[in-house]
Amino acid sequence: MATKIYIVYYSTWGHVATLAEEMKKGAESVPGVEVTVWRVPGTLPEDVLGKMHAAPGREDHPVITAKQLAEADGILFGFPTRFGMMAAQMKAFFDSTGGL
């Protein structure tokens, strides 16, 4: 049975999404590992993201729910920092995992 690795990220402009793809390449190079890349739900309205010139969400990276984390054998997280703190979108996602 394959080891399930989830790569979970948030990316406003696409930089962390690119990093997640590179992490996937590395993890997939290990025999017996199955990798899925996920993105966390956004919190900003589409019109705000448009004004920020944010990258569109990657359709090949589905949005994850907190319950889905329990399916993984290992999880890698990727997110930018804002003033020394994690992005609010990532914090909101982590806050939603309380029931795990």
Count CB atoms within 10 A of the CB of residue 43: 14
Q: State the pLDDT at residue 76.
A: 98
Count CB atoms within 10 A of the CB of residue 92: 15
Per-residue pLDDT of the chain (100 residues; tens, 9 = 90+): 899 999 999 999 999 999 999 999 999 999 999 999 999 998 898 899 889 988 888 889 999 999 999 999 999 999 999 899 999 999 999 999 998 8
The one-letter code for the residue type at 42 is: G
Domain map of the chain by residue range?
3-95
pTM, to two decimals: 0.92
The radius of gyration computed from the CA coordinates of the chain, to the nearest angstrom, equals 14
Domain 3-95 sits in CATH at: 3.40.50.360
Question: Can you tell me which residue has the tokens 């969400």?
Answer: 57
